[in-house]
Amino acid sequence: MRKKLNEVNSGKLFLSGNEAIARGAWESGVHFSSSYPGTPSTEIMETIGAEYPEIDAQWAPNEKVGMEVIAGASFGGARVLSTMKHVGLNVAADPFFTLSYIGATGGIVIVSADDPGVHSSQNEQDNRLMGRAAKVVILEPSDSQEAKDFTSIAYEISEMFDTPVLLRVTTRICHSKSIVEVGPRKEVQVKGYTKDIAKRVPIPSNARKMHSRVVARLKALEEWGYDSPLNRIEMADKSLGIITSGISYQYVKEVHPEVSVLKLGMTNPLPWRLIKEFIDQVDKVVFVEEGEPYLEERIRSYFLIDGIGSELMSVEGELNPELVRKGIKDGENLAITFDEIALPGRPPTLCAGCPHRGAFHTLSKMKASSTGDIGCYTLGLMPPYNALETVVCMGAAIGVLAGIEKAVGREKMPKLVSAIGESTFVHSGITGLIDMVYNGNTGTVMIMDNSLTAMTGGQENPTTGKNLRGEPAPALDLEKLVLACGVKHVKTVDPHDLPLMKRTFQEEFDREELSVIITKRPCIMQYKPKRKTVAVHDPDKCVHCKLCVKLGCPAISWDAEKKIPVISEILCWPNCNLCVQVCPKDALSKDLEGVV
């Protein structure tokens, strides 16, 4: 048995940025953490849950609640952590901005995991802009070792300067692994709660004073940054000076090791004196940063200097070594021996056996559709379903449906439903449903309950009956909740019962009152079937209708020559029989023997 990481007190580990942040929190004596999952941040909490029992860690229903709970825990004198994806910070922005004024009794570190390149998100916002707007300290590590070390320094800064610290990381920090030197946990006492109304109640008269303290705090930190280990000048060829932070630093070192570099680990407030020393020594300044030209705009306007960066590389997408090599010195990239070959795309799809397939297949067959939300079920937009038409943010499926109805009338779009997962519904869909009841909407909301927060890799949530550590927890009863919101018609159905799904949708399309359909079937990540069974196709019975292929199941492909479906024995999911249901001639059956 491998040792749990809390038993490893020294030596080196091969850690992802996320695992390193969890380690850094543990070594810093963090007591408490509350977060909502979101790619690319999720594994920080999962690592804490699996490896570091000394930290009391829990999933929150959403990022705002997570931030509020850690705020309270900090008031109680605990060292606290909350992690989220970039758009999660939008949800938590309200407590975030005011927590900056209130400050940190126990150290507060908030991780924003940004997703340049939009690998698994709906935008590529750069949260350094959020951190600056909230006037908090921003740290940007450039590899896993720094992810751990900066987390520890963040707690020191937080308590020394009475400020929350935003640890801003990006996908290539979170999901890259490198070697990390680790240390033991430093136990820190929980300070306990002390009544301090002037500090924690930002009524206007207090808030003005708080703001003054924030401004002074930033000024002090500016100077602290001058000789802090977070920022450093690596002087080399002085004809070119690169100012950079985060993962971008590594790309610069990779492709242009000969140039001078100012590496900023703390990017708010900026250490102006150090920056001045650097730019005075080099002939030309170039900024290399991923995302918005944050450093470029601030530094150029502060010193009124020339400097380039964003126009050489890009504010869109991820940075990479090619862009940096070509961008910095009008250089040439490595020779490409084999040209890129045009190939069919391979977009993500609902898994074989996915419970969402039954719902989207039925909507598609009924020429019906949905307003969508954030989760695996967003994939309902893909062919062959084309049954999800809008996505805005977590929870928006319901509000958007309500608004479309207000604009064009339900009678014009009787077959449009909301598609929202159970975790997303709890996150921020509930208020949308209350709005629909309150303002007299009549549409149908479909809550797709797969008993898991699935897209982020499978986390528990308030409906699953388990907490972050997999221990039993009270399970939220969705039906009762929906009824309590004032919805009169609620039905729970199995989305893989296709005739029932069709009947249910038709009933609700015809109904002139608001209703909720809960489709309930566990995600395939939730359980491992005991027996491996696969669907078997009998070519003699097949009428070549392709109805099975139109399910959009990754396990079913079409043999164009023989005009028959081919079932992948690797991908076919045992506890699913959708293809058997749609076959009009019983040409498909489940083989109980199967392979392996």
Partner 1 sequence: MSKVKNIIICGTGGQGILMASEVLCSAAWRSGFDVKKSEVHGMAQRGGSVSSHVRFGDKVNSVLVEKGAADVVLSLEKMEGLRWAGYLSPEGKLITCDLTIEPMTVNTGSAVYPDVEKIIEETAIPNLMIPVMDIAKELGNLRVMNIILLGAASKHLPEISEKRWFEAIEERVPPKALEVNLEAFKRGKEL
Binding site for partner 1 (CB under 8 A): 14, 39-40, 42-43, 119-120, 143, 171-172, 175-179, 247, 250-251, 253-255, 320-322, 325, 333-341, 343-351, 376, 379, 382-384, 455-457, 549-550, 552, 554, 556-558, 568, 570-571, 595-596
Q: How far is the CB of 39 from partner 1 (least distance, A)?
A: 3
Q: Report the distance separating Cα 449 and Cα 103, nearest Å.
A: 39
Nearer to partner 1, 86 or 199 (CB): 86
Distance separating the N- and C-terminal Cα atoms of the chain? 27
Could you give the 3-state DSSP secondary structure of residue 516? Answer: strand
Q: How far is the CB of 335 from partner 1 (least distance, A)?
A: 6
Q: Are 327 and 315 in contact (CB under 8 A)?
A: no
Q: Which amino acid is at 384?
A: P
Q: Report the distance separating Cα 168 and Cα 267, nearest Å.
A: 9
Give Cα separations from 327 to 173, 307, 331 (angstroms). Answer: 22, 13, 7
Tokens of 340: 């890129």
Nearer to partner 1, 105 or 171 (CB): 171
Tokens of 546: 């392709």
Q: Which amino acid is at 261?
A: V
Q: How far is the CB of 551 from partner 1 (least distance, A)?
A: 10
Q: How far is the CB of 456 from partner 1 (least distance, A)?
A: 7
Q: Report the distance separating Cα 255 and Cα 386, nearest Å.
A: 44
Q: How far is the CB of 132 from partner 1 (least distance, A)?
A: 26
Q: How far is the CB of 566 from partner 1 (least distance, A)?
A: 9
Q: How many CB atoms lie within 10 A of CB 330?
A: 7
Tokens 């140039």 locate to 259
Exposure b/e, 11-37, CB count within 10 A at least 16 = b: eebebbbbbbbbbbbbbbbbbbbbbbb
Q: How far is the CB of 86 from partner 1 (least distance, A)?
A: 13
Nearer to partner 1, 204 or 347 (CB): 347
Q: Report the distance separating Cα 137 and Cα 110, nearest Å.
A: 10
